[in-house]
Amino acid sequence: MAICGFLCFSRAFFFTLNNTQKISSLKQTLDEAERQFNQPKFIELDPVSIPHQYKKKQDIEIAALMASVLAWGQRVTIINKTKEFLNWMDGTPHEFVLHHRERDLKPFANFKHRTFNGIDALYFVAALKNLYQMHPSLEDAFPLAENEETTEHALVEFHRLFFDLHFAPTRTRKHVATPARKSACKRMNMFLRWMVRNDDRGVDFGLWKKIKPSQLVCPLDVHVERVARKLKLLKKQPANWKAAVELTQALRILDPHDPVKYDFALFGLGIEGEIFN
């Protein structure tokens, strides 16, 4: 059944079926949408295209973190602003954060994207230097036990480590979300999806192995939220951490090992479709 045709049914559709039929029908629909959107052509117009320009693991990590943190507004603007930020690192983000000199930081003082300004930019460079002096990879800054259900602890700990420097500006803390503040952490969850998920589609990187795909939490942006509510996958209000976990738990019914692959389906349907109007 075509995706648009399926989703144009009334909401009552699912309630005319028994639970097994509902799950099977929904899985078929979202699997089809996931295959449609989780493919290389998705990369070009998405912020994930930024880390795909790098080969070194640490360069990919830095580029992915900045692309996710700056992911506000139109995707074209996000891509351009992230490129601007990374271009000041001379194409080698990891080497730059570890070995830059004071004069190399001058351009960052004037950076601005939405509420992310020069103060934030300068602290991000300092925080990344601090983390890479302690760890060979940012993966080590997201500690998570194998038996933990979600990445909640990893995100809380990363926030603590990132702002461990004594001069961390209070204003900058809002740019790295944490479940401790009940945030849905949509940008950080997107970053983790990029780093952890590993399939043969070529979009996500699968560089990190200490976090399992089954532990990831679905990025809950406005497009994903809208489609998830229409499909009765999400009921909680507002769109906070508990809501993101609720959605992920529903997606685990469809795929317990890789629930966040359906981020592609929900996001893609939300971007493309006026089918819910």
Two structure tokens written together for 102: 């004071």
Cβ–Cβ < 8 Å for 233, 247: yes
The number of C-alpha atoms within 13 Å of 226 and in the hemisphere containing its C-beta is 15
Cβ–Cβ < 8 Å for 221, 234: no
Q: What is the mean pLDDT of the chain?
A: 92
Residue 176 has pLDDT above 90, yes or no: yes
Share of the chain above pLDDT 70, in %: 92
For 173, counting Cβ atoms within 10 Å of its Cβ (0-12 exposed, 13-18 middle, 19+ buried), the class is middle
**What is the CB neighbour count within 10 angstroms for residue 112?**
12
Return the pLDDT at 21: 81
Tell me: the pLDDT tens digits for 17-28? 457 888 899 999
Cis peptide before 238 (omega within 30 of 0): yes
CA distances from 18 to 6, 32, 155, 239 (A): 17, 21, 38, 28
Tell me: the pLDDT tens digits for 203-239? 999 999 999 999 999 999 999 999 999 999 999 889 9
Crossing angle of helices 186-196 and 152-162, in 10° steps, is: 110
Residue spans per domain, the chain: 7-37+218-272, 47-189
Query: Of 56-60, 92-96, 155-159, 271-275, which range is least confident?
Result: 271-275
User: H or E segment at 254?
Assistant: helix 241-254
Instruction: List 113's β-bridge partners, or say none.
Output: 116
Residue 12 has pLDDT above 60, yes or no: no
**Would you say how long the chain is, in residues?**
277
User: H or E segment at 34?
Assistant: helix 19-37
Q: How far apart are CA 25 and CA 27, in angstroms?
A: 5
Q: How far apart are CA 13 and CA 6, in angstroms?
A: 10
